[in-house]
């Protein structure tokens, strides 16, 4: 690194093994690290990833340590780091099922292109035992009564009333169904 001779390009830029040498010129290194770390294309990389990316283009003494220090001081990173989060709950073992369509899961696929018949969503209902599924076309604006009628017609009439329904607490289920 530091003991090797620099290559000087025609424009006066000093390079070391093809990487631009960044002198301690005002806050140039800080600006490069800021752009690399907070760019909308990089989304706050960790110090190892950031060093790996920057070392392809730049070089300066103590570069790896400077990048590690910079990332450690990022408030956004500090807030979202795993050690600052509440621990998640323990995983629960799902029970073994005996009857088809006794326990189901459901979710919505929304924001689809509207069909000629006016549908823009799909209601997915899956039997947890067999993994067979119903894909029910619907519109996001369907009212609770319409959803209930669809559910009775497509699920209850064909398979009976399930013992349990699991959803991801989608607002559609929580507030309307």
Q: Provide CATH code, domain 7-84.
A: 1.10.340.70
At 128-159, the pLDDT tens digits run 999 999 999 999 999 889 999 999 999 999 99
Distance of CA 1 to the CA centre of its chain: 38
Predicted pLDDT of residue 68: 92
The yes/no answer on whether domain 103-176 falls in CATH 3.40.309.10 is: no
Element (H, E) at 124: strand 121-127
At 87-137, the pLDDT tens digits run 767 777 766 778 899 999 999 999 999 999 999 999 999 999 999 999 999
Residue 169's pLDDT band (boundaries 50, 70, 90)?
low
Q: What does the domain layout of the chain look like in residue ranges?
A: 7-84, 103-176
Beta-bridge mates of residue 19: 16
Q: Say how far apart CA 171 and CA 177 lie, in whole Å.
A: 9
At 38-48, the pLDDT tens digits run 877 777 888 89
Share of the chain above pLDDT 70, in %: 87
How many CB atoms are closer than 10 A to CB 106? 22
- What six digits make up the tokens of 30? 């800080």
Q: Quick check: helix, strand or coil at residue 107?
A: strand
Q: Say how far apart CA 108 and CA 122 lie, in whole Å.
A: 6
Mean model confidence pLDDT for the chain: 85
Question: Do the domains at 7-84 and 103-176 have one common CATH topology?
Answer: no
């Amino acid at each position: 690194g530091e003991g090797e001779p620099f290559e000087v390009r025609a424009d006066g830029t000093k390079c070391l093994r093809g990487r631009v040498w960044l002198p301690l010129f005002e806050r140039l290194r800080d600006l490069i690290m800021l752009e690399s770390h907070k760019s909308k294309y990089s989304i706050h990389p960790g110090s190892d990833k950031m060093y790996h990316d920057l070392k392809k283009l730049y070089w300066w003494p103590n570069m790896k340590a400077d990048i590690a220090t910079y990332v450690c001081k990022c408030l956004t990173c500090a807030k979202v780091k795993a050690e600052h989060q509440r621990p998640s709950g323990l995983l629960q073992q799902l029970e073994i099922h005996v009857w088809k369509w006794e326990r189901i899961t459901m979710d919505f696929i929304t924001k689809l292109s509207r069909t000629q018949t006016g549908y823009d969503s799909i209601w997915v209902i899956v039997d947890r035992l067999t993994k067979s599924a119903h894909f029910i076309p619907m519109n996001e604006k369907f009212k609770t009564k319409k959803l209930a009628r669809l559910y009775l017609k497509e699920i209850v009439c064909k398979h009976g009333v399930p013992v349990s329904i699991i959803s991801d607490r989608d607002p559609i289920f929580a507030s309307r169904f």
